[in-house]
Amino acid sequence: MSEIDEGPRATGNQAPDVFKVGAWVPMRQFREDEAVDFVIVGTGAGGGTLACRLAEKGFSVVAMDAGAYYRPLEDFASDEEEQSKLYWTDQRLVDGDNPLKMGANNSGKAVGGSTVHYAMVSLRFRPEWFKARSTLGYGVDWPLDWREMWGYYAQAERALTISGPVTYPWGPKRPRYPYRPHELNAVGKVLARGCEAMGYKWSPTPLATVSAPHGESPPCVYRGFCRIGCSTNAKQSALTVWLPRALKAGAEIRDLAMVGRIETDARGLATGVHYHRNGQWRFQRAKNVVVAGYAIETPRLLLASANERFPDGLANSSGAVGRYLMTQSNQGVWGQMDDEVRWNKGPPSLAMTEHWNYEDRKDFFGGYCWMSQGPLPQEWASVQTGSRGLWGEELRREMELYNHQVGVKMVGEMLPVETNRVTLADEVDQYGLRVARVTYSWTDNDKALIAHALDQMEQNLLAGGARKTFRQEDDTNHLNGTARMGDDPRTSVVNADCRSWDIPNLWVCDGSVFPTVGGVNPSLTIQAIALRTADRIETLAKRGEL
């Protein structure tokens, strides 16, 4: 589907049925001049989850997304180029010592957000990370308690029907994953063998793709196209889990609706959002506004909504909006096997080790995990040309070995630094909105962690039987921070409930609220926080404190 040709799909009191070709489900719609309880900007891990839970609790909800409303069965091709439609590739400026590469790894532009093309890795934080400063001596403490979060993690895991190991080898006890783990592919076994040789524990990765039928999702058939959009709906994402529930509970979802500005009134409260849809700017009134646009678009919107009363942007009295941006290091080590491996088969990260997340005998702060990999050919070619600098005949020869290739990549913790940040550039995008400038530089601690991880991963591959290894030293992925939560209005943007300190009816609910980023993929934590936020909003509403 070309979003430009067809226009918005969620109109006329119906939204696409993501489980059937050409089908629709009924959708409640709200008038723009009717102040809905919540307008939510973004429908990914944070916004999608929150929209569902708030609607289920009886609030009126309109959730907007700048991206298109796809039906995976008919709209997703087994083609990397075509599927880049799922990434946020609008113009952004990047700078700093280590400019971030924006796109596939760290953004999404579709209803469902980046969960539509995420790798489904669903890990919990190490409990100590919620008090990183007090217990481990770096970063800052979260205003959340891990024991409370453990309950929300379990709730998210149940909703997403996570397929995970029968017992998870790290961290405190957790309930059994709803579904059993997936079978390892050959590259997963290389990681596992390597870990056993190194004396490290390993585990089948807890994944948000089902290993047995669930509802309208068939079990995963191991095509391996997860990261360009699952076309079978085995993947459990905001698109297939939270939003269908949200619609059933009476939420409205507006696709292809780009929010450009949050309006505030004389009292300093948010009154609604200006959004661009069907070629014109419109206004939706709301009693509460939730920003869930992820770590670039969230601060961009808050900053772009600056007005006379809030000249530095909304919710920014601390000056922390846009600051403390944290990506995660995503370096990898690659190698070859004599046997055919076909690493692209199955979800890309079937086996993993969290050894260095739970082992503190190291000379840097933070932790990291690493996972087996199975990049599709184009992505693999870009590693060979980009990180390794191969071209021509040499590149062709390497690409012929695609089916013998193995590799592991890390998800590493980077420290929050004030100067790693999102600001507004003077250039404007297709909507006439100022584009985000993303400034990023690695700290010495980040570099030490990466160097350590590269050594460990290389050892792992060699011990697993690979040869001809090489290191990819330049990649990063998930983005967090930029609207961090905390206990102190002077240093944080929102409180533990994701409610902004400055504007009580303005909320932020996505990865932006992370004060530290941890060494695991953030999607499950974002969803757990959204679940908690929904419960808190319900409690506050009952008390009349909204």
Partner 1 sequence: MFGLKRRPPPPTLSSFAVDMAHAMLQARATKALAKAPAAAVETATHVRRTGSNRQDAWLLHGAAALLGGSVFADSGVEHYRGDFQNRAMFLPLIVSACSIAASLHGATTRKHGSHRMRDAAYAAAGLTGIVGTGFHLYNVTKEPGGLSWLNLFYSAPIGAPAALSLSGMMGFMAERVREAPAGTEPQLLGLRTSRVLAALTGLGLFGTVGEAGLLHFRGAFHNPAMLLPVTMPPVAAALMLEAAVSPPRKRHRWSRIWLAVTAILGVGGVGFHAYGVSRAMGGWKNWRQNVVDGPPLPAPPSFAGLALGGLAALRLIERHRR
Q: Which of 124, 193, 227, 532 binds partner 1 (CB under 8 A)?
A: 193
- The amino acid at residue 295 is A
Burial class (CB in 10 A: 0-12, 13-18, 19+), 274: middle
- The amino acid at residue 543 is R
CA dihedral 176, 294, 32, 283 (to 10 degrees): 180
Q: Which of 183, 339, 359, 360 binds partner 1 (CB under 8 A)?
A: 183
Give the DSSP per-residue string, 427-470: EE-TTSPEEEEEE----HHHHHHHHHHHHHHHHHHHHTT-EEEE
Q: Between 158 and 490, name the residue whose CB sits nearer to partner 1.
A: 158
Given a contact cutoff of 8 angstroms between Cβ atoms, the answer to whether 154 and 525 are in contact is no
Name the nearest CA neighbour of 55 among 68, 43, 66, 67. Answer: 43
Q: Does 478 bind partner 1 (CB under 8 A)?
A: no
Q: Does 494 bind partner 1 (CB under 8 A)?
A: no
Residue 352 CB, nearest distance to partner 1 (Å)? Answer: 13
x/- map, 159-178, partner 1, by CB under 8 A: ------xx-----------x
Q: Between 52 and 190, name the residue whose CB sits nearer to partner 1.
A: 190
181 phi/psi in degrees, rounded to 5: -70, 160
Residues 24-43 that bind partner 1 (CB under 8 A): none
- The amino acid at residue 409 is K
Q: Does 346 bind partner 1 (CB under 8 A)?
A: no
Q: Does 95 bind partner 1 (CB under 8 A)?
A: no
- The amino acid at residue 39 is V
Q: Quick one: tokens of 184?
A: 């390892």
Residue 218 CB, nearest distance to partner 1 (Å)? Answer: 4
Contact partners, residue 419, CB within 8 Å, separation at least 6: 323, 439, 441
| Strand ranges in 235-292 using DSSP code E only, listed in sequence order | 252-254, 258-264, 270-277, 280-291
Residue bearing tokens 């046997």? 339
Q: Between 183 and 473, name the residue whose CB sits nearer to partner 1.
A: 183
Q: Does 57 bind partner 1 (CB under 8 A)?
A: no
x/- map, 432-451, partner 1, by CB under 8 A: --------------------
Q: Which of 127, 171, 218, 489 binds partner 1 (CB under 8 A)?
A: 218
Q: Between 212 and 428, name the residue whose CB sits nearer to partner 1.
A: 212
Q: Between 132 and 369, name the residue whose CB sits nearer to partner 1.
A: 369
Q: Which of 189, 235, 276, 355 binds partner 1 (CB under 8 A)?
A: 189
Q: Which of 101, 131, 180, 245 binds partner 1 (CB under 8 A)?
A: 180
Q: Which of 212, 401, 428, 451 binds partner 1 (CB under 8 A)?
A: 212
Q: Does 428 bind partner 1 (CB under 8 A)?
A: no
Q: Does 214 bind partner 1 (CB under 8 A)?
A: yes
Q: Quick one: tokens of 471?
A: 């290191």
Residue 228 CB, nearest distance to partner 1 (Å)? Answer: 17
Q: Between 181 and 375, name the residue whose CB sits nearer to partner 1.
A: 181
Stretch of residues binding partner 1 (CB under 8 A), selected from 59-67, 186-194, 338-346, 445-453:
186-194
Given a contact cutoff of 8 angstroms between Cβ atoms, the answer to whether 486 and 514 are in contact is no
Q: Does 213 bind partner 1 (CB under 8 A)?
A: yes
Residue 190 CB, nearest distance to partner 1 (Å)? Answer: 9
Q: Quick one: tokens of 232?
A: 């079978």
Residue 221 CB, nearest distance to partner 1 (Å)? Answer: 5
Residue 74 CB, nearest distance to partner 1 (Å)? Answer: 14
**Interior angle at CA 266, CA 262 and CA 267, nearest 5:** 95
Length of the chain: 546
Q: Between 96 and 165, name the residue whose CB sits nearer to partner 1.
A: 165
CB atoms within 10 A of CB 450: 23
Residue 116 CB, nearest distance to partner 1 (Å)? Answer: 18
Q: Rounded to whole angstroms, how far apart are CA atoms 209 and 199?
A: 29
Residue 536 CB, nearest distance to partner 1 (Å)? Answer: 31
Q: Which of 202, 334, 380, 507 binds partner 1 (CB under 8 A)?
A: 202
Residue 292 CB, nearest distance to partner 1 (Å)? Answer: 31
Q: Rounded to whole angstroms, how far apart are CA atoms 291 and 322?
A: 13
* Three-state DSSP class for residue 352: strand
Name the nearest CA neighbour of 233 among 336, 335, 127, 120. Answer: 120
Q: Does 181 bind partner 1 (CB under 8 A)?
A: yes
Q: Rounded to whole angstroms, how far apart are CA atoms 329 and 218?
A: 33
Q: Which of 108, 113, 204, 481 binds partner 1 (CB under 8 A)?
A: 204
Q: Does 219 bind partner 1 (CB under 8 A)?
A: yes
x/- map, 226-255, partner 1, by CB under 8 A: ------x-x---------------------
Q: Rounded to whole angstroms, how far apart are CA atoms 416 and 179?
A: 35
Q: Rounded to whole angstroms, how far apart are CA atoms 50 and 436?
A: 25
Q: Between 192 and 207, name the residue whose CB sits nearer to partner 1.
A: 192
Q: Between 111 and 184, name the residue whose CB sits nearer to partner 1.
A: 184
CB atoms within 10 A of CB 170: 17
**Interior angle at CA 338, CA 336 and CA 344, nearest 5:** 55
In the complex, the residues that contact partner 1 under the rule CB under 8 A are 165-166, 178-181, 183-184, 189, 192-193, 195-196, 202, 204, 211-214, 218-219, 221, 232, 234
